[in-house]
Amino acid sequence: MEKPLILVTNDDGYQAKGINALIENLVGLGEIIVVAPDGPRSGMSSAITSIHPIRFQLIDENKEKDIKIYSCTGTPVDCIKLGISEVIGRKPDLIVSGINHGSNASICVLYSGTMGAAIEGCIFKVPSIGFSLLDHSPNADFSNASNIIKELSTDVIKNGLPAGVCLNVNIPLGEVKGVKVCKQATGQWIEEFAKSQDGQKKDVYWLTGHFKDDAPSDTETDEWALANNYISIVPIRVDMTAREYITQMKNWENIK
């Protein structure tokens, strides 16, 4: 029987510790093809490259573990598109993105290159999962992610996911109490920029800030789960239509 084909990417670059931890936890589940950026691409969301050519090259191959690793000059979404269209030439059985260095909970899903890649997998009708660990350190300890990666990936390969739905999985630091299937928390980033000056005494701004949760006591959200040492799993839809408002808006069809 043909092995499942797993396409792997991230937004921290193919050399990041997170993606290498992800690859090791997927070994044995199928044939692994990695197409990942050649450097950091955080915050790329679903960005694509349209005004420059994209290149990829084979970086490493491990026949014993059935792994091929390619680097790509594009974004995480470019990696998925190019990986499916040109590298492997067919749809994989599973797309896995991560492990991201840092949280992608709540509204961070809108900015995340990690989740942009998983969402692109949905568009290709491939079951897709994005994994993130709440630690930005390049040398983060990804051992907390091991069990959830293996168990969830195995289940999704076997049972699939609903059409147009991917999974946003975030993993806390410290002792993990369990797993919570959650909704996305609401809130926003505030005090987002730190001001300084360059060598010519001109003002420059660095992205910073902190997340303000609208409902920190809501036990159904991913932010609550993570704050209480649970792994959060949020099902994310590609279709963002606010269906509940369509009927109320029908009168706009009379506008001349």
In the chain, where the domains are located: 5-184+217-239
**Model pLDDT, residue 209:** 83
**For residues 160 and 23, what is the distance between their CA atoms, to the nearest angstrom?**
20
What is the mean predicted confidence (pLDDT) over 85-92? 94
Asked if the model's pLDDT at residue 182 lies above 90, the reply is yes
**For residues 203 and 159, what is the distance between their CA atoms, to the nearest angstrom?**
53
**Model pLDDT, residue 154:** 97
**Model pLDDT, residue 102:** 94
| CB-count exposure of residue 181 (10 Å: 0-12, 13-18, 19+) | middle
Average pLDDT score, the chain: 95
Give the closest residue to 135 by CA, choosing from 21, 250, 30, 238.
21
**Model pLDDT, residue 175:** 93
| CB-count exposure of residue 24 (10 Å: 0-12, 13-18, 19+) | middle
Rounded to 5 degrees, what angle do the CA atoms 118, 101, 58 make?
A: 65
User: Lowest-confidence range among 78-92, 116-130, 185-199?
Assistant: 185-199
Confidence of residue 205 (pLDDT cuts 50, 70, 90): very high
**Per-residue pLDDT tens for 2-51?**
899 999 999 999 999 999 999 999 999 999 999 999 999 999 999 999 99
Domain 5-184+217-239 has CATH 3.40.1180.10: no
**Model pLDDT, residue 1:** 61
User: Lowest-confidence range among 138-142, 209-213, 219-223, 226-230?
Assistant: 209-213
User: Do residues 68 and 38 touch, judged by C-beta distance below 8 A?
Assistant: no
What is the mean predicted confidence (pLDDT) over 144-166? 97
**Model pLDDT, residue 211:** 86
What is the mean predicted confidence (pLDDT) over 203-219? 90
Q: What percent of the chain has pLDDT over 90?
A: 90
- Which three-class secondary structure state does DSSP give residue 201? coil
H or E element, residue 35: strand 31-37
